């Protein structure tokens, strides 16, 4: 590829070239047939934008407020594991990129840099994502560390009673990466001759008994606000509100868990309607363009989470690659807003998009 990348797809190609196949497949792959992996992206293509003309768009303001934190754009870096497999500086470089662009960063429970290293690296607003382990004291230990180190919210990932079947990782015999957050507290060594060591570690540690009542336990061990990640329908959204979460993340875990679960953009509106404005709804999955962000906002999302594109930028160019990916998406969103006649994110309304179903109804 000649010259600088001009979109996030080209960053993906750069990442493919520089990463070992095992690591690229780990980041890029999904569960089983990867139907949902493809749908997460392609479902956006079936939504059209309905622009307004002759609007004064000489000034575009993409800023928004997420759980009390003002950010430059409705973008959060999704928590994703093992950034040091993409680049030696790992999550520290990602956090610095987020801080430089004034967006929120989500740090993964399974990060390869420690909570303390990320917290001391920059002034980014940070949310901490957690899994609940069978040994609950491990999760409690990590939550308290995050709170002590200035993280502003907890993201509970709720779609992982077991790890999805990621066949690329099985074929590659994906190795367990170094989980430095847990060193000296629990063993991080798992050896399996049946495929992915990561899957074996997850089977040993993840708590399949996790249920709605456990949110009360989580609230009892932290003063931080709790968001729940993994909601894909209105019924679960209402249960989440009843349980006392402050935010809902519509997510299918980057299509890495249950294949043939719906693309997140296709169920966003159902969740938004169920929530009725009681808490903010965020969208995770499939964002590759500024137009995708615009569509998610029009369907009711407060902000979107960006996962793989950030990893691809990190792999290709480290911290500067993270910044480039974020700025690329921000610039695309700004242009989309101008061309659609929206000066602020609050100007983006449901009338600015049409879904495939709506277009089909118009033809009847």
Contact 179, 108 (CB under 8 A): no
Residue 110 to residue 91: CA distance in whole angstroms: 11
Report percent pLDDT > 90 for the chain.
Answer: 88
User: Does residue 253 carry a catalytic annotation?
Assistant: yes
| 166 annotated among ligand-binding-site residues | yes
| 256 annotated among ligand-binding-site residues | yes
Average pLDDT, the chain: 94
Contact 159, 172 (CB under 8 A): no
Q: What is the pLDDT of residue 202?
A: 81
- Strand spans (E) along the chain: 48-49, 64-66, 69-71, 75-77, 104-107, 126-130, 153-157, 226-231, 247-250, 281-284, 303-306, 353-354
Q: Say which CATH class 8-362 falls into.
A: alpha beta
Q: Structure pTM?
A: 0.95
- Of 58-67, 161-170, 178-187, 352-361, the poorest mean pLDDT is in 178-187
| 288 annotated among ligand-binding-site residues | yes
Residue 83 to residue 6: CA distance in whole angstroms: 23
**Residue pLDDT, tens place only, 187-202:** 666 555 565 677 777 8
- Pick the catalytic residue: 45, 83, 87, 253? 253
| Arithmetic mean of pLDDT, 307-327 | 98
| 308 annotated among ligand-binding-site residues | yes
| 244 annotated among ligand-binding-site residues | no
């Amino acid at each position: 590829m000649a010259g600088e990348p001009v979109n996030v797809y080209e960053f993906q190609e750069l990442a493919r070239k520089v990463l070992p196949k095992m690591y690229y497949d780990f980041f890029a792959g999904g569960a089983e047939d990867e139907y949902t992996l493809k749908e997460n992206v392609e479902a956006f293509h079936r939504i059209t934008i309905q622009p307004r003309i002759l609007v004064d768009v000489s000034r575009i303001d993409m800023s928004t407020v997420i759980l009390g934190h003002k950010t430059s754009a409705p973008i959060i870096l999704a928590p994703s594991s093992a950034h040091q497999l993409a680049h030696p500086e790992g999550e520290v470089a990602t956090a610095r990129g987020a801080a430089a662009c004034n967006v929120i960063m989500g740090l993964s429970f399974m990060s390869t840099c420690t909570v303390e290293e990320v917290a001391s690296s920059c002034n980014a607003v940070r949310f901490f994502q957690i899994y609940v382990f069978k040994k609950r004291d491990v999760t409690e230990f990590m939550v308290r560390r995050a709170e002590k180190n200035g993280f502003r919210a907890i993201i509970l990932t709720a779609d992982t009673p077991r790890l999805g079947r990621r066949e690329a990782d099985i074929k590659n015999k994906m190795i367990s990466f170094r989980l430095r957050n847990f060193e000296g507290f629990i063993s991080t060594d798992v050896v399996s001759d049946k495929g992915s060591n990561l899957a074996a570690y997850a089977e040993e540690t993840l708590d399949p008994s996790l249920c709605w009542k456990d949110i009360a336990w989580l609230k009892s061990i932290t003063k931080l606000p709790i968001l729940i990640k993994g909601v894909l329908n209105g019924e679960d959204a209402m249960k989440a509100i009843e349980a006392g979460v402050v935010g809902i993340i519509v997510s299918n875990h980057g299509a890495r868990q249950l294949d043939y679960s719906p693309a997140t953009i296709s169920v966003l509106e159902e969740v938004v309607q169920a929530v009725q404005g009681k808490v903010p709804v965020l969208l995770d999955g499939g964002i590759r363009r500024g137009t995708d962000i615009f569509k998610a906002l029009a369907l009711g999302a407060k902000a979107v989470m960006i996962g793989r594109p950030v990893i691809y930028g990190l792999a290709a160019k480290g911290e500067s690659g993270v910044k480039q990916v974020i700025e690329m998406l921000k610039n695309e969103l700004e242009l989309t807003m101008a061309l659609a006649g929206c000066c602020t994110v609050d100007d983006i309304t449901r009338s600015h998009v049409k879904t495939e179903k709506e277009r089909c109804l118009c033809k009847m």
